Amino acid sequence: MKFPQTLSVIAAFLMASCNIQPQKINQQTNTQPTESRSLRGGTPSPIAASVPAQPKSEIKEAKLIAVGDIMMHSTQTRSGYDAKNKTYNFDTFFAPVKSILSTGDWVIGNLETPLAGEDAGGYTGYPLFNAPAQLADATKKAGFNILTTANNHALDRGEKGVIRTIANLSDRKIAAIGTATSAAAADRTFISTKNNISLAKLAYTYGTNGIPIPKGKDYLVSLIDEKKIVKDIAKARKQGADIIAISLHFGDEYQRQPNTQQKQLVENLLKAGADIILGSHPHVVQPYKIFNFPGKNGKTRKAVAIYSMGNFISGQNKKYTDLGVIFQVNLRKTLPEKTTEITSIKTFPTWVHRYTQNNKTNYRVLPLETTVSQKKDALLATSQYPVLSKYLQDMNNHLNSLNSPKKSK
């Protein structure tokens, strides 16, 4: 039978009837025959079907906001006491800055007092702190969801104080970082994911004011140990952290510049893979610095450290101790590459306003820029605005003093 010849005749007839030129088919690109078959409802070629679709590029963003020391001196505790109802309320402390804090995905502060209950020696200020748990309610309402508890006052009410503080924060769905109730809890890395960006939060302190950690219970308070912190950084990265933020309670009290030890430790930890260092303890603001390290694929990895965020709120009255900063770090993750970077840094200088009302001293944290620009705070005298304006200018210059103008934008 002559099937090959018969098929050739049929093919020639069809091409002639459709006015198709054989030489033109050979000149078409690979996409043209596929497209024409698709339009006619035909089956795509195996080659075209095997090309995988390109993953859609996505940008995810999140915001870390941090403040310094949340202290509770005796005058602050009295300011929130309602003698008639025998209750405490400290919501007014943070109400003026709530609009800034509540925009953060992670809002972090250093809780520099135990919340151990009145039966643990009463509510006291310096030198051995203990505050009502209603302080945690106020931080929660203001937007805080992470409080670091590794500081020199962590053991002011002993082991019981550590455990009760963690419980009081947990009851309010606030993470306590830097102290733990067991070795197993201390070994767990806190990782929180917001908008597809995973943040690992670590916290350590230089010491506990000479109060010894109970023997065999080192897990109660995380102390600064560079080798251990480097291991914790590697562990957090292995567990999938996109960003690693470390709170360090260190430095010299009332000094507005970081000391040599602060600078060296910060640089070592950032080189080891940390992305953000949040300093506390000096009770005054120290500047922040932007670092650039070699990254993957020849790209630069940006990191940042603020050596001290100062007092967010306290009863201290030494120079500069009533000034603090809300420190904001904006983050961006690119998918499908899964690369995460710091895109920008913002600072909002703050001031602790003390005023007399109902025969007692009251406290609140004011955002300096908004307060100065609006000039309509009912509790401020007109004569105070020029002073606050000077505070704002000085703080902005001070905060940016370790960066070139280009880097500090």
Residues 6 or more apart from 367 whose CB is under 8 A from it?
96, 97, 100, 326, 348, 349, 350
pLDDT band at 298 (very low <50, low <70, confident <90, very high): confident
- CA 274, CA 266: separation in Å to the nearest integer? 9
The predicted model gives 90-96 an average pLDDT of 98
What is the full DSSP assignment across 214-256?
A: PTT-GGGBPBP-HHHHHHHHHHHHHTT-SEEEEEEE-S-TT-S
- CA 120, CA 132: separation in Å to the nearest integer? 11
pLDDT tens digits, residue range 318-367? 999 999 999 999 999 999 988 999 999 999 999 999 999 888 999 999 99
Give me 269's structure tokens: 């930890």
pLDDT tens digits, residue range 223-250? 999 999 999 999 999 999 999 999 999 9
Q: Are 105 and 194 in contact (CB under 8 A)?
A: yes
What SS3 class is residue 3?
helix
Cis peptide before 127 (omega within 30 of 0): yes
- CA 24, CA 271: separation in Å to the nearest integer? 62
Instruction: Name the least confident of 32-41, 61-70, 180-189, 345-354.
Output: 32-41
Q: Which helix (H) or strand (E) holds 135?
A: helix 134-142
pLDDT higher than 90, residue 276: yes
Q: Which helix (H) or strand (E) holds 187?
A: helix 183-187
- CA 336, CA 53: separation in Å to the nearest integer? 13
State the pLDDT at residue 407.
43
Q: At what angle do helices 260-271 and 226-238 cross, to 10 degrees?
A: 30
Mean pLDDT for the chain overall: 89
Instruction: Name the least confident of 7-11, 46-50, 89-93.
Output: 7-11
| Amino acid making up residue 32 | Q
Within a 10 A sphere around the Cβ of 395, how many other Cβ atoms?
23
- Cα 233–chain centre separation: 16
pTM, full prediction: 0.85
| CA 49 to each of CA 38, 39, 40, 46, 238: distance values in angstroms, whole numbers, following the listed order | 12, 15, 16, 5, 37
Report which of 314, 310, 408, 368 is spatially closest to residue 66, judged by C-alpha positions. 310
pLDDT tens digits, residue range 174-218? 999 999 999 999 999 999 999 999 999 999 999 999 999 999 999
Instruction: Name the least confident of 77-81, 139-143, 334-338.
Output: 334-338
Q: Are 246 and 226 in contact (CB under 8 A)?
A: no
List of domains in the chain? 22-51 (no CATH), 61-399 (3.60.21.10)
State the pLDDT at residue 46.
52
- CA 41, CA 44: separation in Å to the nearest integer? 9
Give me 205's structure tokens: 């302190």
State the pLDDT at residue 240.
97
- CA 53, CA 40: separation in Å to the nearest integer? 22
What is the full DSSP assignment across 66-91?
A: EEEEE---HHHHHHTEETTTTEE--G
Q: Which helix (H) or strand (E) holds 354?
A: strand 339-357
Q: What percent of the chain has pLDDT over 90?
A: 81
pLDDT higher than 70, residue 111: yes
pLDDT higher than 60, residue 265: yes
| CA 199 to each of CA 28, 122, 149, 324, 373: distance values in angstroms, whole numbers, following the listed order | 53, 36, 18, 24, 34
pLDDT band at 153 (very low <50, low <70, confident <90, very high): very high
Report which of 234, 258, 324, 336 is spatially closest to residue 285, judged by C-alpha positions. 324
Give me 256's structure tokens: 């507005």
What SS3 class is residue 156?
coil
State the pLDDT at residue 60.
96
| β-sheet bridge partners, residue 404 | none
Residue with tokens 């339009």: 39
Q: Are 290 and 258 in contact (CB under 8 A)?
A: no
What SS3 class is residue 155?
coil
What SS3 class is residue 108?
strand
